Structure 1
Amino acid sequence: MDPELAASLVPILADLARPGGVLPEVRDETWNDLPGTASAFLYAQDGSGQGISITLGRPPAQQIAELADQVQEWAVEALWTLGRPTNWPFCPRHPHSHPLAAVEIRGRAVWQCPTDRVEVADIGRLQA
């Protein structure tokens, strides 16, 4: 797997491993052959998969936020299939309303409340 893609996945997978999340099987399968990108696949327990990719050479925080958004889409589908709540990661400010949004702010990849734009945690440092 491309080292930039692998490094960007580390904090996101750490958050998925916390209660309420679900871990994918990550496969080094290229599906996106656009120049300047790296890609892989995430697979759920039911065998369904989704491609993920990043733009190479961007600042790490941008890559992590870009990738976290894609992984979040995968997680929502995987959780739905398992019959579990799909608002991952849940917003502690509005726990029954919406998930947090992955954004890059001032060189940091963070989970942010999409309603009031409050930063909740750096990506990779969600609390249980």
Structure 2
Amino acid sequence: MDPELVAALQPILKDLAGPAGVLPEVRDEPWQDFEGTASAILYAADGSGTGVYIHLGVPFCAQVAPLADQVQDWAVEALCALGRSTSWPPCPEHPDRHPLRAVEHAGRAVWACPVTGVEAGEVGTLTT
């Protein structure tokens, strides 16, 4: 797997490993061949898969934030299939209303409340 993709996935997978998350099986199966990108497929326990990708050669936060958004879509489906809350990662301000959103801010990839914009922490530092 492309080393930039591996590096960008690491903080997201760290967050997914928390009690509210679920970990995918990450397979080095490039599913698209757009120039300047790297891709892989995330698989859930039920065998369903979702493709994710990054743009190569851009700042790390510009890889992590959009990749976290893609992985979050996978996580919502995987959690739903397990009968668990799909609000991942849960918003500390509104835990039963919506999940946090991954955004770029000040050169960092962070999780933030989509309503108030309040940061909950950098991608890779969640404890929930």
Tell me, yes or no, whether TM beats 0.5. Answer: yes
Please give the residue correspondences for 1:1-128 in structure 2 after superposition, counting only pairs within 5 Å.
Answer: 1-128=1-128
Query: Which aligned segments of 4 or more residues in structure 1 are displaced greater than 2 angstroms?
Result: none
Q: 2:127 and 2:115 mapped to 1: Cα distance?
A: 20
Q: 1:113 and 1:104 mapped to 2: Cα distance?
A: 13
Using the TM superposition, give the Cα deviation of residue 29 of structure 1 relative to its aligned residue in structure 2, in angstroms.
Answer: 0.2
- Amino acid of the structure 2 residue aligned with 1:114: P
Using the TM superposition, give the Cα deviation of residue 127 of structure 1 relative to its aligned residue in structure 2, in angstroms.
Answer: 2.0
Q: 2:122 and 2:92 mapped to 1: Cα distance?
A: 14
Q: Scaled by the length of structure 1, what TM-score is found? A: 0.99
Q: 2:116 and 2:127 mapped to 1: Cα distance?
A: 19
RMSD, aligned CA: 0.5
- Amino acid of the structure 1 residue aligned with 2:121: A
Q: Scaled by the length of structure 2, what TM-score is found? A: 0.99
Question: Secondary structure at the residue paired with 2:93?
Answer: coil
- Amino acid of the structure 1 residue aligned with 2:50: Q
User: What do residues 9-64 of structure 1 show as CA deviations (whole Å, max 9, x unaligned)?
Assistant: 00000000001100000000000100000000000000000000001111001100
Using the TM superposition, give the Cα deviation of residue 73 of structure 1 relative to its aligned residue in structure 2, in angstroms.
Answer: 0.1
